[in-house]
Amino acid sequence: MLSVYAAAIDRDDPLSGLVIGDLGEQPTPDDWVTVQVRAASLNHHDVWSLKGQGLPAERLPMVLGTDAAGVTQDGREVIVHSVIGDPDAGGGDETLDPRRSLLSEVYPGTLAERVRVPARNLVDKPAGLTFEEAACLPTAWLTAYRMLATKSATNPGDTILVQGAGGGVSSALIALGRALGLRVWATSRDAAKRDWALTIGADAVFEPGARLPERVDAVMETVGEATWSHSLKALRPGGRLVVSGATSGANPPADLNRVFFLQLSVIGSTMGTRAELESLAALLVETGLRPVIDRVLPMAEAREALAAIHDGSVHGKLVLVP
């Protein structure tokens, strides 16, 4: 089976452990369902796995990938929900199951001709979405949707700040924020990415750390240490900072005086539930919004695609097709 997999871990040179080639079917529970992958999208998670984050060496070789859309053996067109968890163990939310994992951490991922998942992890693909578009949803777009629709407590007309325009989650936040009726501001160090953010739905763009025209209702934070201080300062009293990543560092100064004096809320958010994935897909059909796709490549060119994610030269999502 053609697969894109981690054969070794290297924190300094993650792509050195990447292999693209034939790999036999790896163990999964007998009652799981097989999906023929029609399209799979990439995420920073794939690069982090090659660095050993969430993927110890004893689990190698491991098929990478968390996102896919495809067809089951009985012809059902589906989107794969990549959170492997028990909703009951999480109080009704599988993302809160203490033993949850994502595909490619414990069980083989989606960057292959086939992937196996629990039956409950399959969501019907709307006919209005292509396989390539649907494959963009389960990680970056679902993460963004949960941040906005579930965690941010925002309403149409509110203003949000998206830190670090350009990546998969941030571009999804911008596009989804606009679709949900929010006023969207975004930051980026790169002038070209700031200009690009305007084309996908941002109402205004700024350099990181810039003084904003007014304080915002919520900040969407995926960058971490480099933007944390600005994120806190950007919030109105009582505002919310929703954080789902920390690509520049996980331990910024907390600035607790500002947090308690202005009664700010700092809220963690990880992935999303199967129900939220269904709601996200329905929103795209209802609004006509579609994921921002940088490019679609054959799975055999996964190294080129992962290198682009590693060096940050991506605008939106990268999609691979077998």
pLDDT tens sequence across 140-166: 999 999 999 999 999 999 999 999 987
The mean pLDDT value for 270-283 works out to: 98
CB 103 within 8 A of CB 109: yes
Band of residue 316 on the pLDDT scale cut at 50, 70, 90: confident
| For residue 272, pLDDT beyond 90 | yes
Calculate the average pLDDT of the chain: 96
Residue 132 CA to residue 142 CA, distance in Å, equals 15
205-208 contact pairs (CB < 8 A, 24+): 205/165, 208/163, 208/164
Which residues are CB-neighbours of 250 under 8 A, at least 6 positions away? Answer: 224, 225
User: Has residue 187 got a pLDDT over 90?
Assistant: yes
pLDDT band at 248 (very low <50, low <70, confident <90, very high): confident
What pLDDT, on a 0 to 100 scale, did the predictor assign at position 146? Answer: 98
Residue 279 sits at φ, ψ, to 5 deg, of -65, -40
Distance from C-alpha of 147 to C-alpha of 68, rounded to nearest angstrom:
21
Q: What are the CA-CA distances from residue 37 to residues 76, 92, 135, 320 (Å)?
A: 12, 29, 9, 10
Q: Per residue in 218-244, pLDDT tens? A: 999 999 999 999 999 999 999 999 999
Domains in the chain (CATH in brackets) are 2-136+291-321 (3.90.180.10), 141-268 (3.40.50.720)
The reported pLDDT for the residue numbered 315 is: 83
Q: Average of pLDDT values for 31-55?
A: 96
Provide mean pLDDT across the span 257-281. Answer: 98
DSSP string, 169-218: HHHHHHHHHHHTT-EEEEE-S-HHHHHHHHHTT-SEEE-TTPPPSS-EEE
62-63 vs 77-80, strand pairing mode? unpaired
Closest C-alpha to 115, from 28, 13, 30: 28
Model pLDDT, residue 302 = 97
Give, in order, the Cα–Cα distances in Å from 216 to each of 13, 162, 183, 204, 256: 39, 10, 9, 13, 19
The upper half-sphere exposure of residue 146, i.e. CA atoms within 13 Å in the direction of its Cβ, equals 23
- Rounded CA separation 85/97 (Å): 6
Instruction: Give percent above pLDDT 90 in the chain.
Output: 93
The Cβ of residue 51 has, within 10 Å, a number of other Cβ atoms equal to 17
Residue 179: pLDDT above 90? yes
Is pLDDT at 69 greater than 90 in this prediction?
yes
Per-residue pLDDT at 300 exceeds 90:
yes
Q: What percent of the chain has pLDDT over 70?
A: 100
Contact 147, 242 (CB under 8 A): yes
Checking if the pLDDT of 177 tops 90, the result is yes
Q: What is the pLDDT of residue 166?
A: 78
User: Which residue matches tokens 């036999």?
Assistant: 24
**Res 220: pLDDT:** 98
